Amino acid sequence: MAAPRAPVTRRPRVVSLVPSLTEAVAVSAPGALVGATDWCTHPAGLDGTVTRIGGTKNPDTGAIARLRPDLVIANEEENRRPDLDALRAAGLDVLVTEVRTLDQAFAELDRVLTACGVAGRPEWLGAAEAAWADAAETVARGDEPVRTAVVPIWRRPWMVLGRDTFAGDLLARLGVRNLYAGHPERYPRVPVEELNAAAPDVVVLPDEPYRFTRDDGPEAFPGAVAALVDGRHLTWYGPSLAEAPRSLARALRAASR
């Protein structure tokens, strides 16, 4: 159980460079966010309360500095080191997260929210932990079949989840065994012919970062079972984690019919 947070006297001014963390902070620390990226789409209504500061890979560091934030929150995978170094050189405090497993996500969310002045544990965070514990019990009981999978995240060229990824960890907890989890690269480029030859039980197709749809993706895997899943539920770590196991399991079951 997380240690109690010390009371705070003033909500810090926060800029988020990570869509997942933007949602978590906006929901849990109303009024703290003063800046967010163009890709920060949740929760609704951000445009009326924050300044947009560019993309996750090309933020306007000067605009961020002019917002005079007390804290900039970032992620070692989503954001580039030169941008983070520039923000530090401007005298800003930058908190960098690393999230490659669900357990890391919960720990880092707790660290970020503490730094953002959240005094109590948000209800959604406890709900997310409970939802994933329930999902693990369901798999352990054998109520969900264990499936092998390939998980494309891009095409032209085809790229898939490889080793050591947050999305791969979520799928594993739902009984989905990524056939490329042992690949030396985290996001390897793999010809579609090789993906088909791997003969997975299911091809998991999220709608981000590449937007796979019923008409764009499944046709590349003739005869295979394709599961179209919500990319936010597969790759975001924030309030969406509470509904993610049910959403993903439902999509996997629908694809198996």
Name all domains of the chain by residue range, CATH numbers in brackets.
14-121 (3.40.50.1980), 126-256 (3.40.50.1980)
C-alpha–C-alpha distance, residues 42 and 16, integer Å:
12
pLDDT of residue 8: 46
pLDDT of residue 140: 86
Residue-wise pLDDT for 20-68, tens only, equals 999 999 999 999 999 999 999 999 999 889 999 999 999 999 999 999 9
Q: In this structure, how many other beta carbons lie within 10 angstroms of the beta carbon of residue 174? A: 19
User: Which of these, 43, 11, 135, 115, lies nearest to 73 by C-alpha position?
Assistant: 115
- CB 159, CB 187: distance < 8 Å: yes
Percent of the chain clearing pLDDT 70 (strictly above): 95
Q: Which two tokens stand for residue 58?
A: 């090309």
pLDDT tier at 74 (50, 70, 90 boundaries)?
very high
pTM above 0.75, yes or no: yes
Helix (H) or strand (E) holding 228: strand 226-229
Residue-wise pLDDT for 34-43, tens only, equals 999 999 999 9
Question: Among 85-94, 165-174, 201-210, 248-257, which is the least confidently predicted range?
Answer: 248-257
Residue 71 in 3-state DSSP? Answer: strand
pLDDT of residue 145: 81
pLDDT tier at 256 (50, 70, 90 boundaries)?
low
